[in-house]
Structure formats: structure tokens, C-alpha cells
Amino acid sequence: MAERKSTPSQDKAQVEVQKVVDEAEERGYIGVPVDPTPKSHYTVAGVIAGEPTPETDPEHARRVRQELDDADRAR
């Protein structure tokens, strides 16, 4: 396993990339689920049961988009 360096990198490119990644994490762009549809809807059992997904049900896709838009506005 690699050890972490005790001093931060002085490479300008790496510092800039880290700054952008930190900002994205702070805003919640990284690590936030994109689709709130339960994962079980994407399984064989879910498909056979007719569980909706944004790819297969236009009304469900509209609800998902609305839910994601509402969550973004609440931030």
C-alpha cells in the first residue's frame, strides 16, 4: 500500500485539479445518486414485475427529473 506524502504537492496542475474536485465535493456533485429509482427496479425480478425506470416509463422519468430539480433548488 502506498504511503501518503507528509507535505502537499507543489505541482500547480495537481493543486488546481484538487481545488476543482474539492469544490465539486462541497457542492454535492460527487457522491450524490443521479437516479433515485431503487436498484431493485433494474434487476431481472424488477423488470419482470414491471417496476418503472426512467428508461422504460416516461411518467417515471418525468417524476425523477422533477425530484432531482426540486432537490437542486433546495440546496
Tens-digit pLDDT profile for the chain (75 aa)? 455 556 666 789 999 999 998 888 777 677 666 788 999 999 999 999 999 999 999 999 999 989 888 887 887
- Cα–Cα distance list, 75 to 2, 23, 43, 49 (Å): 37, 15, 32, 35
* C-alpha span between 44 and 33 (Å, rounded): 21
What is the identity of the amino acid at 29? Y
